[in-house]
Amino acid sequence: MKPTEVLKTYFGYDTFRRGQEEIIEAILRGRDALAIMPTGAGKSVCYQVPALMLPGITLVVSPLISLMQDQVKALNDAGIHAAFINSALTEGQIRKALSLASQGVYKIIYVAPERLESWEFQDFAAHTEISMVTVDEAHCISQWGQDFRPSYTKIVDFIRRLKRRPIVSAFTATATETVKTDILRSLQLANPKVVVTGFDRENLYYSVEHIRKKDDFILDYIEKHPADSGIIYCATRKNVDKLYEELFKRSVAVTRYHAGLGGVERKKNQEDFIYDRSPVIIATNAFGMGIDKSNVRYVIHYNMPQSMENYYQEAGRAGRDGEPARCILLFSPQDMMINRFLLEQKDFSELTGEEARLIRQRDTRRLQTMEQYCRSTECLRNYILQYFGEEMEGPCENCGNCHREYTEVDMTEEAKQVVRCVTETRGRYGIQSVIGTLMGANRARLRELGTVDYESYGSLKEKNEADLRALISQMVSEGYLHQTEEQYSVLKLGDTTPLMEEDTRVILRTWKAKEPEKKKKAAR
Ligand code: ADP
Ligand code: ZN
């Protein structure tokens, strides 16, 4: 059989999607492979089709038990002999599965990475023909990723111990250069075929809403889209519970998911959602990996996520069927505080001080990028694609920012005051102090820092804080200023400060006010 025939016979699809055939053909020619494809692009088929065509067994290393179980069930339903070996099985069941496997009953076996380190499993592998080792969710190998799993770094030792080196293929949705390099190096892929498919999901409509009353927005949205299935992500369990109760009180059919719930309840809630008994689920980011629900029409982020990687992955759970779907991020300035707090809570006790410092720095930079996305007035799709290293031509005309109306205000003079203030701070203070100084705030902290004696002190006292924040954010993204990446970041002058040139103008784009109750500066 040819790959297309296998695809049709076992999976029922007529054609390959972008990238799939390239990967499959490389593997069938015996070449290692790394595929970086967005969530929902169809990575599983890329190793399942060749697994059925290679002579021996394919081992799929996968990080989550639930993920393995779903995949194996889907394969079994399609008439493919597959099994999983993980801690959900008893010793006896594992022995039985391994024995069946060595008799050639299974073509595909899913294993947790820790299992590869067990003596029993290594013994099995030594006596079995293993054609391919596939590493799913391969970004777990990278210390820089959100989902680092130390046992992933030992996969390569397992492979090295095998009598014949199998084909090694790796799959992930994380496209950043560091993660990619880490995967290639850590798995020691030999002259691999690397395929990166486009990150653009044309059917997704991205938007950011700057609002305070998030609950009202969500209630209103659900009311207006009663037939739609949606996911609402919150940053914390507490937020999940609060919102859940709020919606439950108003008899909206919702369920919830977070790591604080018992296993039974989590499973039930997840299934209620998947089978549309509760079309809406409120969840922390613990929910979603490996969930394949194609008709999710919207993903709303109640809080800003910690990175573009997270956002892209979570938002990407909308519209997997290719039909139009919405990805809405509800932003409020408090989200930065919540996220800073969450990052500070991270446990680095197993890392050296230097590693911890680097990771903190990276986390902070990611968070800043995420905030920039929320405050951006540019095309949101372009922003995302550029982040993942793709270029686009012009605005997409299909995102919240492309559809929004702006007012443009010349803020050149104000920008000059900002530059003056940052110069006076000699790049030592953060955005909060700079804004306070410019507005002439009477704060003990500013007196302590001595900024009350600056020439720029109070030079913008007629401005409001939100506008100054927006201005500074825009100045950072345009390179006039630089925001450092430490945990407590400070503002410095950018590499170029061309503002002093005659004809340079800083135009602040702000959204036309939608809310009539928008606060005005007091007249007196
Ligand atoms: P990923 O692991 O990349 O997130 P999956 O492998 O779960 O994505 O695939 C996402 C969905 O796309 C699944 O429902 C899968 O059956 C479907 N799919 C995969 N390949 C094809 C194809 N060639 N044609 C149509 N649907 C496909
Ligand atoms: Zn756009």
pLDDT in tens, 69-104: 889 999 999 999 999 998 889 999 999 999 999 998
CA of 220 from ligand 1 middle (Å) equals 33
47: tokens are 């190793």
Query: Is the beta carbon of 292 within 6 A of some atom in ligand 1?
Result: yes
Q: Specify the residue for token string 């913008």.
A: 460
Nearest protein CA to atom 9 of ligand 1, as residue? 42
ipTM of the complex: 0.97
> Taking 60 as the threshold, does the pLDDT of residue 521 lie above it?
no
| Report field, pTM of the whole predicted structure over 0.80 | no
Give the Cβ contact number of residue 514 at 10 Å: 11
Query: Is the beta carbon of 13 within 6 A of some atom in ligand 1?
Result: yes
Q: Who's near 40: CB < 8 A, 6+ residues apart?
A: 201, 316, 317, 320
Q: What is the DSSP string of 452-474?
A: GGSTTTTTTTTS-HHHHHHHHHH
Q: Where are the beta strands (DSSP E) in 26-107?
A: 33-36, 57-61, 82-85
Query: Is the beta carbon of 348 within 6 A of some atom in ligand 1?
Result: no
Per DSSP, the three-state class of 83 is: strand
CA of 404 from ligand 2 middle (Å) equals 10
Nearest protein CA to atom 19 of ligand 1, as residue? 42
Residue 164 exposed, middle or buried by CB count within 10 Å (0-12, 13-18, 19+) = exposed
Cα–Cα dist 424/426, whole Å:
5
Q: Who's near 291: CB < 8 A, 6+ residues apart?
A: 270, 274, 317
The β-bridge partners of 408 are 509
For ligand 2, a single-atom ion, the residues with CB < 5 A are 379, 381, 395-396, 399, 402
Query: Is the beta carbon of 43 within 6 A of some atom in ligand 1?
Result: yes
Query: Is the beta carbon of 433 within 6 A of some atom in ligand 1?
Result: no
CA of 408 from ligand 2 middle (Å) equals 18
- Burial 482-508, CB ≥16 within 10 A → b, else e: bbbeeeebbbbbbeebebeeeeeebeb
Query: Is the beta carbon of 6 within 6 A of some atom in ligand 1?
Result: no
Cα–Cα dist 209/303, whole Å:
11
Ligand nearest to the CA of 380: 2
CA of 199 from ligand 2 middle (Å) equals 14
Q: Which helix (H) or strand (E) holds 148?
A: none
Q: Which helix (H) or strand (E) holds 135?
A: strand 130-135
Amino acid at 516: P
Q: What is the DSSP letter of 488?
A: S
Q: How confident is the model at residue 455 (pLDDT cuts 50, 70, 90)?
A: very high
- Burial 58-75, CB ≥16 within 10 A → b, else e: bbbbbbbbebbbbbbeeb
Q: What is the DSSP string of 280-330?
A: EEEE-TTS-TT---TTEEEEEESS--S-HHHHHHHHTTS-TTSS-EEEEEE
Distance, first Cα to last Cα, the chain: 81
Q: What angle do CA 30, 52, 13 make, to 5 degrees?
A: 110
Q: What is the pLDDT of residues 475-507, one digit of tens each?
A: 887 778 888 877 678 999 887 666 666 677 888
**Residues across the chain:** 524
CA of 394 from ligand 2 middle (Å) equals 8
Amino acid at 93: Q
Q: Which CA distances in Å does 155 have to 23, 43, 45?
A: 21, 20, 22
Confidence at residue 496, expressed as pLDDT on a 0 to 100 scale: 62
Closest atom of ligand 1 to CA, residue 38: 3
CA of 203 from ligand 2 middle (Å) equals 12
Q: What is the pLDDT of residues 8-61, one digit of tens each?
A: 999 999 889 889 999 999 999 999 999 999 877 889 999 999 999 999 999 999
Of all residues in the chain, what percent carry a pLDDT higher than 70? 95
Q: What angle do CA 310, 189, 3 make, to 5 degrees?
A: 85
CA of 13 from ligand 1 middle (Å) equals 10
Q: What is the pLDDT of residues 345-385, one digit of tens each?
A: 887 777 777 777 877 888 888 899 999 999 998 899 999 98
Asked if 266 contacts 317 with a C-beta cutoff of 8 angstroms, the reply is: no
520: tokens are 């005005």
Q: What is the pLDDT of residues 393-432, one digit of tens each?
A: 789 999 999 988 777 888 889 999 999 999 999 999 999 9
Nearest protein CA to atom 23 of ligand 1, as residue? 16
In 3D space, the residue among 221, 302, 212 whose CA is nearest the CA of residue 519 turns out to be 212
Q: Specify the residue for token string 């699809």.
A: 13
Best residue for ligand 1 mutational test, from 6, 9, 11, 195 (most atoms within 8 Å of Cβ) = 11
Segment 154-181 shows an average pLDDT of: 92
Query: Is the beta carbon of 45 within 6 A of some atom in ligand 1?
Result: yes
In this structure, are strands 167-172 and 130-135 parallel, antiparallel, or unpaired?
parallel
Nearest protein CA to atom 12 of ligand 1, as residue? 42
Cα–Cα dist 155/158, whole Å:
5
Cα–Cα dist 259/345, whole Å:
16
CA of 174 from ligand 1 middle (Å) equals 17
In this structure, are strands 325-331 and 204-210 parallel, antiparallel, or unpaired?
parallel
- Burial 129-141, CB ≥16 within 10 A → b, else e: ebbbbbbbbbbbb
> Taking 90 as the threshold, does the pLDDT of residue 203 lie above it?
yes
The β-bridge partners of 134 are 60, 169
Give the Cβ contact number of residue 77 at 10 Å: 8
CA of 417 from ligand 1 middle (Å) equals 53
Q: How confident is the model at residue 515 (pLDDT cuts 50, 70, 90)?
A: very low
In 3D space, the residue among 120, 134, 137 whose CA is nearest the CA of residue 50 turns out to be 134
Q: How confident is the model at residue 517 (pLDDT cuts 50, 70, 90)?
A: very low
Query: Is the beta carbon of 46 within 6 A of some atom in ligand 1?
Result: no
In 3D space, the residue among 343, 332, 270 whose CA is nearest the CA of residue 301 turns out to be 332
